[in-house]
Structures are given as C-alpha cells and as structure tokens.
Chain A
Amino acid sequence: MTWLAAQPQGIPLPKPSELSAPHWEAAKNGELRVQRCENGHYVFIPLPACNYCWSTKLEWVKTSGKGTLYSMSIVYRPQTPAFQIPYVVGIMEMEEGWFIMSNVINAELENVKIGMPLKVTFTKMSDDIALPYFEPA
C-alpha cells in the first residue's frame, strides 16, 4: 500500500493575480471560494465576466468543498524533482457543478478511484499560500 500525502515545501507555488487573489486569500482561511455571477453560474478558473451569461457582477462565494473524483492520473515521473512520487492528479466535479484540478491525498493509492466522494483539505505551504488538496469524504 502507498500512502498519499501533501507535497513537501519546495514545489512551485501559485503566484496569485489580481483576479485570483480572493481564491488564494480564502484558502489561507480554510475556505474554498469560487466566483458566482448574479444569475447563479459558477466560474472557475476565474474570469472578469461570467462565461455563460457575461454578467460582470461576480461574487467570491464559499462552497461546500465536496465533490467526486471525475478523472485521475497516478504520476510516477515528477514534473520536476521537487515533487515526491507517486502522486495523484485529479479533476474534481464539485457539488455545485464546477470543476477543479488538484491532488488526492490522505488516502491509500490503491483505494483512489474515479467516482469516489472527496472533500477539500488545506495544507499551508508558505505564509502566502495554502493549497486546496482533496481527501476521501
């Protein structure tokens, strides 16, 4: 069995933009926030206007952090040597109907399957960045 954990310090970390800053600011407080327009459409990754109705009235709303594993790949050749292998990259289909990429952690590798329920868990990587990983719900 292989236990999946958060990556160590030293991996490349996000450099928030003006547009994305609220997402990363919320992550530091343990919240998964995403843009939602006045008509209820979720937008991720962030945009200046909704890509469904083009409303520019977007709010960073707190989400449940719950979803299911939509697709996954177990990576054995790291992007750079900073990453510990193996790690699981996944696309999460969130309860509210939006998608996010992340890693699945706090699980045995052998038990990670498409369709499994997951929830967000944050790991502090630096003073500025906490990463939203996902673990079995």
Chain B
Amino acid sequence: MTKVNPLHGAAIVGVYNTKQGRLLEGETSQSLVLEATLGAIKDAGLTPKDIDGVISGGWGGVSGPGDMIRQLGSRPSWFGSGGADINGVMNAAMAIGMGLCETVVISSAQAGAYRDHSGTAPWVRPTNEFVECWGLFTAAEFALLAKRHMYKYGTKPEALAEVASAIRMNGSKNPGAVYYGREATPEDVLNSRMVADPFHLLDICTTTEGGAGMVLTSVEKAREMGIKPVYILGAAVEQQGAAYKEPPVWDKFGWSGRWGGKKMFEQAKMTTKDIDICEFYDNFSFDVIRLLEVYGFCGEGEGGDFVMGGRVRIDGELPVTTDGGLMSFSHPAMPQAMQRVISGVLQLQGRAVNQVKHKRVQNILTENYGGGALFTNQMIISNQPAQQ
C-alpha cells in the first residue's frame, strides 16, 4: 500500500510579521495577534470569510482558537491545539490534506510578559523542583550540551562566535529586525560578556515582543490564487524526554532531531545535498553546529569546522537563518518558532529582505527548538510541489 502524505495536499499562501521590538509601547498580546491574523490573511489575498480552520494562541494572555474563530465571524471551523510553530504548521497541513478544512490561519503574539529585566525572561526559567534551585535557565541548560560537545570533540568558542556573527549580520541588514543596523563580528561575540559559559551575551538570542501569522490552504486552491505557493515536502516532530526537568546529557540527547529528520528527508525523497538554505532556530549559537551534525550536513563532531570560512553566511554555500533569527530578528516567546518558517517562505517566494541570489533557492530546511529542550521539530518547504 502506498502511503499518501497529507502534508503534500497543503501549501503555504500567506505570511505576516507584525513589528517586532524589545518593548512595543501601546501593544498587547491581543492587539498583536489580531494584526498577525488579519495580516497573514491579507497577504494571501483572502478575507476572513475564506478561513475555516484556526490555530491561535501562545504565551502571555493570548486566548485560544475559540476566541479567534469568533473574531473572524463565528463560522464552524477546524481548530488545532498546537502552537504557532512547525508542529502547528504540520497540524494545519494535515487537517487540510485530510479534507477537514480548506484554509487555515495560524497566529500568535506576545507583549508585556517580560518588562522587569532584573531576572531572565519567565519563559526561559523552568520552575521544576530539580532545576530551579540550581539557578538553571534555558541558556545554562543548552550550555551543558555545548560544553560536553566541546570537551568531546574540541569544538572551539570561535566556531560558536562565527555562527552568532553570521546570523546577527543577517539581522543587521533586515529593517524588520529588532537589531537592525547592529552588526556583530566574531570578535564582538567573543568580547561580549559571558552569561553562561560557553555562551557570551551575543551567542544567545534576544527576548522581544511581537507577533506572526501564516495561512495555509489546499494545493488545488493555492494554484487558483495567482500567487507563489510554498509546498511542504516533509516534516516530523520529535521529543525525547522531559524538557527542563531531567539533565540534558549529551550522550542521551545530543542527537535530538535525527530520528525526526530521517522521517522528514524520507517523505521529501531528499538528502542534505538537496537543501539550499537552513532556517534553524538559533536560540543559542551552538545549536546550529549541533543541527548540522544531526541532519548529516557534516559528520559527528565536525560542525565547528563546518561553519568556518563563511560557509553559513548569507553569501556562503549553506546560508543559515537569513532574517536574523532569534538572535537579531525577534524572540517573543512563541512567534519566533513560526518565524523560522516565514523566513524560508519569503526566500522561496523571492521577497526576502536578504534574498539569496548567488545560488539556487528551491528547498529550505526549517527547524524549531533544539537539543537542550530535548525536542526538535523540522520541516522541508519548497517552491516546487512534492514528487509523487
């Protein structure tokens, strides 16, 4: 029996980022999620009357899909319980592929959840009884994986700094990025203050406010819309343990994403050689190095060497996180996950601010979360439909 992949029945047809900022005066999570929702629908050339599926929610007082379905006109709609991330995009695509609905809007936003900066942001600070009392937060959790990798393979701080610099340079050229105009060389990264060794301040993502939205519809409808649809060729989520509770032991969890990544590549009938750009979730510089090894762009322990020589820069062999990512574009607690996909969509449609022009842009690997979280979600998107 041939499996039919429901993901191949859906396409991404609209994307939208609200303004992003360290602090957005006068905005609330509610105002931003509404803007993100309507902005994505408009970007697709549709109206709320075309929507019959909703995933909406996130951190900081944004209510669930029911309130958004009411806002859009109280029509009977499919709803997904996931967030605005790769998992949510997959759920929406599967619902469309199964015929449960035709056109889904996904949105999330956050403003106002983190205004007292004397501590770390609340969404990076787990309260578990075996974590909190040791002063752990996500940077330290991911650092524990990075340090073991450095101990085991000799990975150098300079490699981490090269990743952070490459992504921050992308953001510095993106007027929509929170750190637009703020360039960072590898030396700047290494000279920034240490937060959780081996992570300097500039090895670590920012924390911001903002929102994002996306619209998916059936492949049939997308082809009638007169736009450039973006197809989902393969995707998989993977979780391996109790995030931010049990110790992030490299030898148990270091390859988080490999199992799911294999399923993703199989669905797409592709290998790493087919991938033109990686829109990785750059919460910490090291995880980009880890992911390159996880997916097999290089061998185990070789990620540090792989990123050197400009390879992952915007004009390199394998550009990574082209909008500036969580480090420089934005990290508002949930939208940044879907923003990895949005950045890829804009590249595939030829309307990215940092449009890659020196090489083919056809297949993009997008990814969310990462090793320290013990879960890694991944999806290949393309401007060419799936090969049946």
**What residues make up the interface of A, taking CB atoms closer than 8 Å to B?**
7, 11-17, 20, 44-45, 70-81, 83, 87, 89-91, 99-103, 114-115, 131
Contacts and interface: CB of A to CB of B under 8 A. Distances in A.
A12 B133 contact: yes
Contact of B195 (A13, A15, A75): A75
A73 B133 contact: no
Contacts of B247: 91, 99-101
Given A99-B247, A100-B247, A114-B148, A75 B135 contact: yes
Contacts of A79: 119-120, 125, 132, 135-137, 140
Given A71-B147, A71-B151, A114-B151, A101 B118 contact: no
A73 B134 contact: no
B102 to A, nearest CB: 42
Interface in B284-334: none
B197 interface: yes
B195 A17 contact: no
A36 B268 CA distance: 44
The 6 closest A-B pairs by CB, nearest first: A73-B143, A14-B129, A80-B119, A74-B197, A71-B148, A77-B195
Contacts of A71: 144-145, 147-148, 151, 249-250
Contact of B120 (A13, A15, A80, A101): A80
Q: Interface majority SS on B: helix, strand, loop or mixed?
A: loop
B195 to A, nearest CB: 4
B140 A45 contact: no
Interface of B: 118-120, 125, 127, 129-137, 139-140, 143-145, 147-148, 151, 193-199, 242, 245-250
Which of B129, B135, B242 is most buried by chain A, counting CB atoms within 10 A of its CB? B135
Contacts of A76: 193-197
A70 B329 CA distance: 34
Contacts of A81: 118-119
Which of A11, A12, A89 is most buried by chain B, counting CB atoms within 10 A of its CB? A89
A79 B60 CA distance: 20
Contacts of B125: 79-80
Contacts of B246: 44-45, 99
A101 B248 CA distance: 9
Which of B118, B129, B195, B248 is most buried by chain A, counting CB atoms within 10 A of its CB? B129
Contacts of B133: 11-14, 131
Nearest to B131: A101
B148 A15 contact: no
Contacts of B140: 73, 75, 79, 89
B130 A14 contact: yes
B275 to A, nearest CB: 30
Contact of B135 (A13, A78, A99): A78
A89 B195 contact: no
18 contacts: A11-B135, A14-B133, A45-B130, A71-B145, A71-B147, A71-B151, A73-B140, A73-B196, A74-B196, A77-B120, A79-B125, A79-B140, A89-B144, A91-B144, A99-B249, A101-B136, A114-B148, A115-B151
A17 B39 CA distance: 45
